[in-house]
Chain A
Amino acid sequence: MGELFKLSELAKGSKGKIERIEGTIDFQRKIMEMGFIKGTEITLVRKAPLGDPLQVQLEGHSIAIRKKDSRNIFVKKD
């Protein structure tokens, strides 16, 4: 408990809770409006067939995000 991971480091199919978002203010704003909020449960569903981007499950919806951007999202594993 308590250890923070980058979203990109989650194993395929595993869950975590969003703890912190870094990056530029523009990036933070954009990603928060898409529903990436502190405390939200997030699942790394899979990588795209070519390895990037990632498909994540956030609440009821599925979102594509590039690996590079997912390194700015820190999650706490359940």
Chain B
Amino acid sequence: MQNENKNFPIVIPIIGNPNVGKSTLFNSLTGLRQHVGNWPGKTVEKKEGIYLKNPQIRFIDLPGAYSIHGASAEEKITYNYLQNHKQDTVLQIIDATNLRRGLYLTLQLLEMGIKVVMALNLNEQAKEQGIIIDDSIISSELKIPVVVIDPVKKTGIDKIVETVSCRHTENKKPIIDLSYCEDMKATDVRVISGRHNFIDSIVKRSVTKNQVTKDFTKMIDRVLLNKILGLPIFLFVMWLAFVISFEAARPFVDALDFAFAAISEIVKNFLLTDLNAPAFIVSAIVDAGIGGVSSVLIFLPNIFILFLTMAFLETTGYLARAAFIMDRLMKKIGLQGKSFIPLILGFGCNVPAIMASRTIDNPKERLLTIMMTPFMSCSARLPVYILFAGIFFSENEGTIIFSLYLIGIIIAIIFAFLMKKIVAKKEDAVFLMELPPYRIPGFSNLVIPAYHKSKMFVKKAGTIILSLVLIIWFLANLPIGVDYAAQESVLGFIGTLFAPLLEPIGFGDWRIAVSLMFGFVAKEIIVGSLGTLYSTGGKTLTSIITADFTALSAYSFMVFTLLYSPCMATATIIKKETQDWKIPLIVIGYNIAVAWIASFIVYQTGLFLGL
């Protein structure tokens, strides 16, 4: 059934093996005109974009697949889409350095009777490797149009769109001799061999390979995967990524902080003197609105740079090497190298990280990876660390923040160990992973994802966070007549109910209880709501926190924030990805328990030691 996008006559799915330049092509076709939605009737993310030069053409970025019949969740998404859209014209991108594997997918598409247009990505790597391909032979053997492109230099892009829309209007089914798969299941080993024999005959006639002069990937691998240097370099890269994400953002954060304070002052004066607005309106707009939202928004530079760093590690090809290096250790805790990628991405945001677990095709390993991800300290928790560490540990802020990330990692490892003991696995699953060639990431590969993530963050600040801080402000003013943010307010009542539970871990203030409660919606709100609740009587958030916390209780609070629960969006995505609503509830349950116990240990040990 193709009942979507009736107004748009042409919808072109883009398909390809992983790491063949699919996203680069998609980005250069659609630029920033992309949106991420859900598949109709399904709960899986769908990436769609409008062609820059003609809004009548839309592209869908299907997840990378080695095989239509593959076992990973990503491959299943691709399979299901194609199964339901057999009349579509598919744009398949093939990496010239991996022609055979690309053609394997082409044959599977043709077997399904799908119209294919091939974009042959003849990139720098192919030229470096001295590969020359006669695309006319591929075209005539498979009876499909083939266009040579270079998505980085943007050559052949117009032609591929023209070809694909042309093929779209034709109704001819592909016609080639596929006798090797007659009367057999598509997953039969003999069919797989049949495909490879066919491909062999095409490759032998269409590809010439010149003597390779230099292979940069091999040269770089020799250093980065070196027996002795490999591990230290890996640790150094991780450390560097961490430092860059924080240090580079600092001046921008300070500038934003300054700017927001100035804006807040100007707005306040304008409202009070020029408009003669009543004090409570001014309080709502300035204290709640601007105070709450700006306390979150100033961390935008951190978030942008963090995602930039993530995208850099991923698109250069280093993240796959990191997974390769880590496989041995991951195996010890019942996981595999591929699990390392979602866990690292979790430092950016748990939501895409949990989606990245789709490449793990063993269901148990995938579930365990998903369940561990919330322990990875995402960027939304960062505002809390920066605020509190900046106040109480300004001498060694970096070390303190790093220690929190480490606590998250250590607890995740302990958790995996326990799970391994509880859910005994018969044997390790197969771990097969491609190590893609190193690439110098294009501007679009880095900035576009970071831009989209930052946009989401700003949007969140302007919608969910703004409305929640206003709700908080409102509840803090009820019942009528009560002093703003007094304990007698409705909010104070709710907070006071839970505060005793937090007493033994060092922060029994009702306002903290409230901020943590609302923090479940989005962790940025913790700082946002503190900004709203504490910004009374002309005192700054910093001065009140300094008075209300000790260094020890601040650290305990950071540990609790790190561990206490995945946010609502993460819980939702866990439900979607596992197709089981019990899993997110279980995750929330043990996260709260672990957070409380960890903070209890930190706080009580600290008290005992006289800190």
Q: Which residues of A contact B (CB under 8 A)?
A: 25, 27-35, 37-38, 45-53, 55, 59-66, 68-69
Q: Are B225 and A33 interface neighbours, CB within 8 A?
A: no
Task: Give the Cβ gap from B213 to chain A, nearest Cβ, in Å.
Answer: 15
Q: State the main secondary structure of chain A at its contact with B.
A: mixed
Q: Please give 8 more A-B residue pairs, beta carbons under 8 A apart, in addition to A32-B193, A45-B221, A53-B431.
A: A33-B70, A49-B230, A52-B331, A60-B98, A62-B437, A63-B433, A64-B434, A69-B432
CB < 8 Å: which of A29, A37, A69 contacts B187? A29
B38 at the interface (CB under 8 A from A): no
Q: Are A66 and B325 interface neighbours, CB within 8 A?
A: no
CB < 8 Å: which of B100, B324, B437 contacts A48? B324
B535 at the interface (CB under 8 A from A): no
Task: Give the Cβ gap from A4 to chain B, nearest Cβ, in Å.
Answer: 19
Q: Are B328 and A50 interface neighbours, CB within 8 A?
A: yes
Report the Cα distance A62→B328, complex, angstroms: 18
Task: Give the Cβ gap from A7 to chain B, nearest Cβ, in Å.
Answer: 13
Q: Are B104 and A33 interface neighbours, CB within 8 A?
A: yes
A sample of 23 inter-chain contacts (CB < 8 A) reads: A25-B189, A28-B189, A29-B189, A32-B196, A34-B66, A35-B104, A45-B221, A46-B221, A48-B328, A49-B228, A49-B234, A53-B431, A55-B435, A60-B99, A61-B436, A62-B217, A62-B434, A63-B434, A64-B324, A64-B435, A65-B432, A68-B428, A69-B432
Interfacial residues of chain B within 193-245, with CB under 8 A of chain A in the complex: 193, 196, 217, 221, 225-228, 230-231, 234
Q: Are B101 and A35 interface neighbours, CB within 8 A?
A: yes
Report the Cα distance A30→B189, complex, angstroms: 10
B87 at the interface (CB under 8 A from A): no
Task: Give the Cβ gap from A24 to chain B, nearest Cβ, in Å.
Answer: 9
Report the Cα distance A27→B431, complex, angstroms: 10
CB < 8 Å: which of B66, B98, B328, B435 contacts A33? B66
CB < 8 Å: which of B97, B129, B327 contacts A52? B327
Q: Are B329 and A50 interface neighbours, CB within 8 A?
A: yes
Interfacial residues of chain B within 103-152, with CB under 8 A of chain A in the complex: 104, 129, 131
Interfacial residues of chain B within 513-527, with CB under 8 A of chain A in the complex: none
Task: Give the Cβ gap from B87 to chain A, nearest Cβ, in Å.
Answer: 26
Task: Give the Cβ gap from B204 to chain A, nearest Cβ, in Å.
Answer: 12
B166 at the interface (CB under 8 A from A): no
Q: Which residues of B contact A (CB under 8 A)?
A: 66-67, 69-71, 97-101, 104, 129, 131, 187, 189, 192-193, 196, 217, 221, 225-228, 230-231, 234, 323-325, 327-329, 331, 337, 428, 430-437
Report the Cα distance A52→B329, complex, angstroms: 9
Task: Give the Cβ gap from A61 to chain B, nearest Cβ, in Å.
Answer: 5
B residues less than 8 Å from A68 (CB atoms)? 428
Report the Cα distance A54→B608, complex, angstroms: 49
Q: Are A48 and B70 interface neighbours, CB within 8 A?
A: no
B residues less than 8 Å from A27 (CB atoms)? 430
Report the Cα distance A72→B189, complex, angstroms: 16
What 3 pairs across the A-B complex have the smallest Cβ distances?
A: A49-B230, A50-B328, A62-B435
B residues less than 8 Å from A37 (CB atoms)? 193, 196
Q: Are A53 and B434 interface neighbours, CB within 8 A?
A: no
B residues less than 8 Å from A49 (CB atoms)? 225-228, 230-231, 234, 325
Q: Are A52 and B225 interface neighbours, CB within 8 A?
A: no
Q: Are A65 and B98 interface neighbours, CB within 8 A?
A: no
Task: Give the Cβ gap from A3 to chain B, nearest Cβ, in Å.
Answer: 24
Q: Are B433 and A64 interface neighbours, CB within 8 A?
A: yes
A residues less than 8 Å from B433 (CB atoms)? 63-64
Task: Give the Cβ gap from A65 to chain B, nearest Cβ, in Å.
Answer: 6
Report the Cα distance A30→B433, complex, angstroms: 11
Residue of B nearest to A66 (CB): B431
Instruction: Using A29-B189, A33-B67 as known contacts, say yes or no to A66 and B430 having CB atoms under 8 A apart.
Output: yes
Report the Cα distance A63→B338, complex, angstroms: 13
Q: Are B129 and A60 interface neighbours, CB within 8 A?
A: yes
Q: Are B329 and A59 interface neighbours, CB within 8 A?
A: no
Instruction: Using A62-B217, A63-B433 as known contacts, say yes or no to A29 and B100 having CB atoms under 8 A apart.
Output: no
Task: Give the Cβ gap from A71 to chain B, nearest Cβ, in Å.
Answer: 12
Residue of B nearest to A25 (CB): B189
B residues less than 8 Å from A66 (CB atoms)? 327, 331, 428, 430-431
Q: Are B432 and A59 interface neighbours, CB within 8 A?
A: no
Q: Are B431 and A69 interface neighbours, CB within 8 A?
A: yes
Task: Give the Cβ gap from A74 to chain B, nearest Cβ, in Å.
Answer: 16
Q: Are B324 and A55 interface neighbours, CB within 8 A?
A: yes
Task: Give the Cβ gap from B247 to chain A, nearest Cβ, in Å.
Answer: 28
Q: Are A59 and B231 interface neighbours, CB within 8 A?
A: no
CB < 8 Å: which of A45, A51, A60, A65 contacts B328? A51
B324, B337, B432, B435: most-surrounded residue (chain A CB, <10 A): B432
Task: Give the Cβ gap from B416 to chain A, nearest Cβ, in Å.
Answer: 17
CB < 8 Å: which of A30, A59, A69 contacts B71? A30
